[in-house]
Chains A and B, each alone.
Chain A
Amino acid sequence: MKNFSAFDIIGPRMIGPSSSHTAGAARLGRVAAKIGGDDIQNVVFLLHGSFAQTYRGHGTDRALVAGILGMEPNDENLRMSMEIASEKGLNFEFIKTDLGDEHPNTVKIIMTNKVGEKTEVTGSSIGGGSIKITQINGLVVEFTGEYPTLVVRQIDQPGVIAKVTKILNEFEINVAFMRVFRHSKGQDAFMIIETDTVVSKEVICKIKDSGKEIIHIYSIKSI
């Protein structure tokens, strides 16, 4: 069981009204935007369950957009996020939907960047502002962003994983959890690496340059 800190009890600092529907939504948006990369121009939010039902009253819509803009859940500008997004030329749309057998507070975020590339991220707000990412581009994954997390998109080939862990080793980065998710052999796959300490830009750059099997790497720290 998690060893609660005093600041898990007195905290988080957040914009109201709801840790799950507002703070958690902002975190989901933020993590999705990290995976979506730079230059996101268009976002569609597919809202499921309680998110679909109560998103207006809880400001879930504003929180999600704020997250896409990179705001933290306690950013005073969160309530103005839609206006700020419009000024920046970011288009967004909310669609109520049924994503099937998912957690009641789930959203599928479809981002399109300037050159028309699409990234889809699905995640749930699982209580107290904590989140869980469950799908990236249709691939089932699972991570919470509570630890510093590296999401590595790679071509599924022998030796890729060893290469990455070797670099982490060299820099004495302790891996807390590591999992690999893939469609099928030899195709696109994701490696999710949760570490104890934040991974520096240098390390990320080294991993990126370690081979052409590495398509992309994102560093996520949501809390």
Chain B
Amino acid sequence: MLTEFSNGVELSKICNESNKKIWEIMIEREVENSQLDREAILNYMKENLNIMKNSIKKGLYEDVKSVSGLVGGDAKLIRERYENEKTVSGKRMNKAVASAVAVLEVNASMGQIVAAPTAGSSGILPAALVTVGEDFHISDDQLSKALFTASAIGYIITKNATVAGAEGGCQAETGAAAAMAASALVELLGGSPEQALDAAAMTIKNILGLVCDPLAGLVEVPCVKRNAIGVANAFICSDMALAGVKSVIPFDEVVEAMYKVGKSLPCELRETALGGLAATPTGIRIKKQIFSKK
């Protein structure tokens, strides 16, 4: 059984020929490459899901504050509003946004998270899956399988481009996370492998060029809110793909374009905290405050 693939075209070919979903291929690949059996692999992913759930809960209900004091508490604010008021983008979207913010706030306050694919983008995938899982009454088994769909997309991006902000900007980091989330949602809700790849492609297209410009070099501002827009982007693109909307530019070409754009970003806009929001008067003032703290 052939389970190795290096891009979207190969992956969808394997899926079509074997009549299997992306998550199934990814699990089979994992069994082949590791010394673990299928059950152990599934269980390990389920434990990851649990840690993800806990980090969401913590951020939504507890008081968290980052070490620098720059972020914390916004997830709670968003939750209190969607629980009590009508919101512009609806309850589910707000729940997802609050959850993504929650995980990043927990991360910034030195709590436990699962990098997905990085710590700076660790809110998007959990927020997407857990929110939809709750609202649609989907089992943890199914959600864990969707995490394998996500990992296949993340693997392709890592292999052919990058998921590091320092290398490819925020489009690579939160962009990859959002693409992973979008594809996972598509398979979770019954979509085809092609639709999953289309959703991933559209997600990256939507934020192509996004720079990495964290204040004081810390994973806080604007990272928390970039995770919020990441999950919203994943929601929109998974819905479009499930409706049958196709990406004009195929997934593999989008990934390549993203990589090229990333490499052409100046150094100032790749995690060095020398450009973008980090170089605004307020960004510089906050950096000085943090660095002078003893």
Contact = CB atoms under 8 A, between A and B. Distances in A.
Nearest to B110: A79
A59 B117 CA distance: 20
Interface string B86-98: 0000000000000
A17 to B, nearest CB: 4
Given A6-B45, A9-B155, A17-B220, A57 B110 contact: no
A13 B106 CA distance: 13
Contacts of A11: 48, 114-116
Interface in A48-65: 50, 53-54, 56-59, 62
A14 B113 contact: yes
A6 B26 contact: yes
Contacts of B290: 56-57
A4 B34 CA distance: 11
A70 interface: no
Interface in B196-221: 216-220
B68 A10 contact: no
B67 interface: yes
Contacts of B118: 19, 128
B120 interface: yes
A174 interface: no
Contacts of A57: 67-68, 216-218, 220, 290
Interface stretch (B74-82, B145-153, B235-243): B145-153
Contacts of A43: none
Contacts of A78: 110
Given A17-B218, A50-B217, A53-B217, A9 B112 contact: no
A203 to B, nearest CB: 20
B216 A9 contact: no
A18 B216 CA distance: 13
Interface of A: 1, 3-19, 22-23, 50, 53-54, 56-59, 62, 74, 76, 78-79, 127-129
A16 B119 contact: yes
Contacts of B44: 7
Contacts of A76: 112
15 contacts: A6-B30, A6-B155, A7-B44, A7-B48, A10-B115, A10-B116, A10-B117, A13-B112, A16-B106, A17-B67, A17-B108, A50-B217, A57-B290, A79-B110, A79-B111
User: What are the nearest 7 A-B pairs in CB distance?
Assistant: A16-B107, A9-B154, A6-B151, A79-B110, A9-B151, A17-B219, A57-B218
A56 to B, nearest CB: 7
B158 interface: yes
Interface centre among A6, A12, A58 (most CB of B within 10 A): A6
Interface centre among A5, A10, A13, A79 (most CB of B within 10 A): A10
B33 interface: yes
Interface centre among A19, A62, A79 (most CB of B within 10 A): A19
Given A56-B290, A58-B218, 8 more contacts: A5-B33, A6-B45, A13-B112, A17-B108, A57-B67, A57-B68, A74-B112, A79-B111
A9 B184 CA distance: 14
Contact of A6 (B108, B120, B148, B291): B148
Contacts of A59: 67, 110
Contacts of B113: 13-16
B62 to A, nearest CB: 14
A11 B147 CA distance: 11
Interface in B246-294: 290-291, 293
Given A7-B44, A50-B217, A57-B67, A16 B111 contact: yes
A33 to B, nearest CB: 20
A57 to B, nearest CB: 4
Interface in B163-194: 164, 166, 180
Nearest to B69: A57
B152 to A, nearest CB: 8
Contacts of A10: 45, 48, 114-117, 125, 147, 150-151, 154
B220 A19 contact: no
A127 B154 CA distance: 16
A16 B154 contact: no
A59 B219 CA distance: 11
Contacts of B109: 16
A9 B117 contact: yes
B217 A22 contact: no
B159 interface: yes
